[in-house]
Amino acid sequence: EKGGYEHFMLKEIHEQPNAVKTTITPRIVNGMPDLSECGLTLEALKNYRKLFIVACGTAMHAGMVGKYVIEKLARTEVTVDIASEFRYRDPIITPEDLVIVVSQSGETADTKAALHLAHDKGAKVLSVVNVKGSSIARESDMVLYTHAGPEISVASTKAFSVQMSVMYLLAFEMAYAKGHIDENECKRLTAKLAEIPDIIEKTMECEKKCKYVSSKLITAQSLLYIGRGLDYALSMEGSLKLKEISYIHSESYAAGELKHGTISLVEDGMPVIGVATQTELLEKTVSNIVEVKSRGAFTIAVCKEGTEFSEGVIDEAIEVPAMEDVLMPMLTVIPLQLIAYYTTVLKGLNVDKPRNLAKSVTVE
Ligand code: M6R
């Protein structure tokens, strides 16, 4: 049942190329994204006042990626909320808005409550759900199913990748609907997304290196993940994955926030993982890595192939193939998942079933 892999998590990590391909292929028609299956029209996409993306945990991180990409390309305001916060903060939602809920299981209690709240305020709800026929799918106005297949490991991996892939299709289609990109550019971006499954496969070549880096993390008391922009969203996901299964404390920080408090934690030997794939922000993030290095941190960079760092700044670099910046999260997540996986395996812990956690959180 584990298809020759030692754990479901590793199997599911390796299933990502196929899961993404299965999710996006039927939604690309004549080279353009096409989400009309759920009733989402170009006209409607053009007219939403604002989008809210609401989810928990890893699904919320996919929402963060969605926000960056939709705002950048479609120039529409997007708010991302943790469902348990959204439901109690009296958000300003109107019937002109679209609320997008993201959930692998489709049964998460807080996410479901967010959906009900959106309906109470008269907004339409689009859900991005993996489990067919789940409560959230049934109660939404529109559903875009992700086709990851069953995800058994408590730590979510392939569900995240497919959720992001749907966010990209949505962002491209919306950017086109609103006239911010023309048909050529929309086709170009969509073609790049369609190449992603093969490039994820190639990204798996970093597995050995990730295992080696993990061997350096098993004795850590605590570590930091830092990044900016899309890399910050991925830092959050990397940190969550590691703490959830390896029980090593970690925090993710927007790199620029470090000097507003967190950097005082850095002492000799503390591992800091710098996620640095975004070209425009690279120099800034590197300067933050230099700051932690000079305070004794053990620095690990997750970066594009061929990224050059000054002598002595990075102890270990994990390179992933270089792609369009906006699509990098689809690749960056691979080493982050592998580091969480191998650190946990090397510590001899139960990777697929971490203590205190359930796969599906159906109570508040
Ligand atoms: O089923 P959902 O996508 O709604 O679940 C949301 C979170 O509970 C889930 O992503 C959780 O954070 C994972 N265990 C993280 O790996």
Using one digit for the tens of pLDDT, what is the confidence trace for 125-184? 999 999 999 999 999 999 999 999 999 999 999 999 999 999 999 999 999 999 999 999
Task: Report the percent of the chain where pLDDT is more than 90.
Answer: 98
Chain segment 181-205, per-residue pLDDT in tens: 999 999 999 999 999 999 999 999 9
With beta carbons less than 8 A apart as the criterion, state whether 114 and 126 touch.
no
For ligand 1, atom 9, which residue shows the shortest CA distance?
57
Helix (H) or strand (E) holding 316: strand 316-320
Determine the distance separating the centroid of ligand 1 and the alpha carbon of 81, expressed in angstroms: 14
Token pair in block for residue 283: 């120099």
Q: Residue 152's closest CA among 350, 336, 353?
A: 353
Q: Is 359 a catalytic residue?
A: yes
CA 357 to chain centre: 20
CA 148–ligand 1 middle distance (angstroms): 14
Contact call for residues 228 and 235 (beta carbons, < 8 A): no
CB–CB of 63/55 below 8 Å? Answer: yes
The candidate with the shortest Cα–Cα distance to 282, out of 261, 304, 314, 260, is 304
Residue 104 alpha carbon, nearest atom of ligand 1: 3
The interface predicted TM-score (ipTM) is: 0.99
**Mean pLDDT, the chain, whole residue set:** 97
Distance between CA atoms of residues 20 and 112, nearest Å: 25
Any bridge partners for residue 48, and if so which? Answer: none
Residue with tokens 């030997």: 269
52-71 pLDDT tens trace: 999 999 999 999 999 999 99
Q: Which atom of ligand 1 is nearest to the CA of 56?
A: 6
Which one of 81, 166, 361, 364 would you pick to mutate in the ligand 1 pocket, going by the greatest count of ligand atoms within 8 A of its CB?
Answer: 361
Give 231's pLDDT tier (boundaries 50, 70, 90). very high
The binding-site residues of ligand 1, defined as CB within 6 angstroms of any ligand atom, are 56-59, 103-105, 108, 111, 154-156, 240-241, 244, 360-361
Q: What is the SS3 assignment for 311?
A: coil
